[in-house]
Amino acid sequence: MKTIKGPAVFLAQFMDDKEPFNSLDGLCKWAADLGYKGIQIPTWETRLIDLQKAAESKTYCDELKGKVNDHGLEITELCTHLQGQLVAVHPAYDIMFDNFAPDAYKNNPKERTKWAVEQLKYAAKASKNLGLNVHGTFSGALLWHTAHPWPQRPEGLVELGFEELAKKWMPILNEFDENGVDVCYEIHPGEDLHDGVTFERFLEATHNHKRVNILYDPSHFILQQLDYIEYIDHYHDYIKMFHVKDAEFNPTGKKGSFGGYLDWRDRAGRYRHPGDGQVDFKTVFSKLTEYGCDVWAVLEWECCIKSPAQGAREGAPFIKSNIIEATEKRFDDFAGSEVDTEKLKRILGLNQSK
């Protein structure tokens, strides 16, 4: 067993043009004052990190780490969710996903993809320079528009989709391997990796590449009505990152899992602050601890009701209260005794005279 690290906070949703949310120093002081021990950095936020410079300069990374450490914090992981999304984009989503790319690559899917792949490779080197061995991202999607099979999917479409997705990712995965860093895909609706079955399909398509791993976020499984506890039983060996985010699913006679194109607040499935939804976090933390998952517990604030300010204030104590200090001692050790082989044989009824 292993004690989960934390509490930590993902900075993406807290970025703002106002102080203290517009700089790394400001966010570090803010996070430390709230009781967080780590920060997860979204690499698309250039106010927090120059990703190319971090890939090319160990000195820059040492200075970045020092700045964070001065606030009593650690960098838990770097994340490239937006860039990872752009590694594989179906043309139907080109216009909307252009928002994730710099202006120079908009309206040019081929160049946008090349930029995204380069960003991921920078992230591999930057992670190594920062002394990190795991990294969070999205897989992107070629097949998501066929998730509900109508019209019916032609034979071989899914197999080809995962084969092509793997081709796009293999050079990136190999770059991460060369730098000793695991790629943790956030299993998420909208991605081709959105549940256990699709994770296994991708793993197989990459020939079980050892850098293919999981960022576990139970909130996404609530919305899919997937057993998020049993998921840990199946995939605990791959879970290397952990987002603490809640959700709830309350279907009615008018709306269900597809959501009716409603805003988040009005959907049957919606994201909530940890402790306000339906995720059984005590069991989640217990399972991850029991299986020895070496993860940081990172708050990801996405709530359609509670403010980010309140969410951040409540997040650190919530995570801290759920972290289990893994025991190194059995509760019945006090009643034990030294190993006595002859005594053990007598207990088993062995070596008795016939």
Q: What is the mean pLDDT of the chain?
A: 96
| Dist CA 302 CA 308 (whole Å) | 8
pLDDT at 55 over 60: yes
pLDDT in the model for residue 353: 60
pLDDT in tens, 81-100: 999 999 999 999 999 999 99
Q: CA 181, 187, 193, 199: dihedral to nearest 10 degrees?
A: 70
The Cα 15–Cα 48 span in angstroms is 9
Cα distances (Å, whole numbers) of residue 304 to 45, 173, 246, 318, 348: 23, 35, 11, 18, 61
With a cut of 90, say whether residue 146 has pLDDT above it: yes
The parent domain of residue 63 ranges over 5-347
Nearest of 315, 229, 302 to residue 269 by alpha carbon:
302
Q: pLDDT band at 354, cuts 50/70/90?
A: low
pLDDT at 331 over 90: no
pLDDT-based confidence at residue 333 (cuts at 50, 70, 90): low
In a domain, 165, yes or no: yes
* Per-residue pLDDT band at 335 (split at 50, 70, 90): low
Q: Beta partners for 89? A: 141
> Over the stretch 99-139, which tens digit does the pLDDT of each residue have?
999 999 999 999 999 999 999 999 999 999 999 999 999 99
Tell me the pTM. 0.94
Tokens linked to 156: 């071989």
Tell me which DSSP letter residue 141 carries. B
> At 226, which CATH number?
3.20.20.150
Q: Is residue 27 part of a domain?
A: yes
Residue 329: predicted pLDDT: 74
Which distant-in-sequence residues (6+ apart) come within 8 Å of 342 by Cβ? Answer: 351
Q: How many independent structural domains does the chain possess?
A: 1
Q: Each residue of 199-258: pLDDT tens digit?
A: 999 999 999 999 999 999 999 999 999 999 999 999 999 999 999 999 999 999 999 999
CB neighbour class for 343 (10 Å; exposed up to 12, middle 13-18, buried from 19): exposed
- Tell me whether residue 354 is in a domain: no
User: Does 52 reside within a domain?
Assistant: yes
Residues 312 and 10 sit within 8 Å (Cβ to Cβ): no
Instruction: Find out whether 165 and 158 touch, Cβ atoms under 8 Å.
Output: no
- 352 within a domain of the structure (yes/no): no
Query: Given a cut of 90, is residue 332 above it in pLDDT?
Result: no
Go through 57-90 and write b for each residue having 16 or more CB atoms within 10 A of its CB, e for each that does not.
beebbeebbeebeebebbbbbbbbbbbbbbbbbb
Q: Give the strand pairing for 269-272 and 296-299.
A: unpaired
Residue 206 lies in a domain: yes
What is the number of alpha carbons within 13 Å of residue 146 lying toward its C-beta? 16
- Is residue 338, in this structure, part of any structural domain at all? yes
Task: Reply yes or no on whether the pLDDT at 334 is more than 70.
Answer: no
In a domain, 353, yes or no: no
User: Is the predicted pLDDT of residue 156 greater than 80, yes or no?
Assistant: yes
Please compute the mean of the pLDDT values over residues 161-189 and round it to a whole number: 98
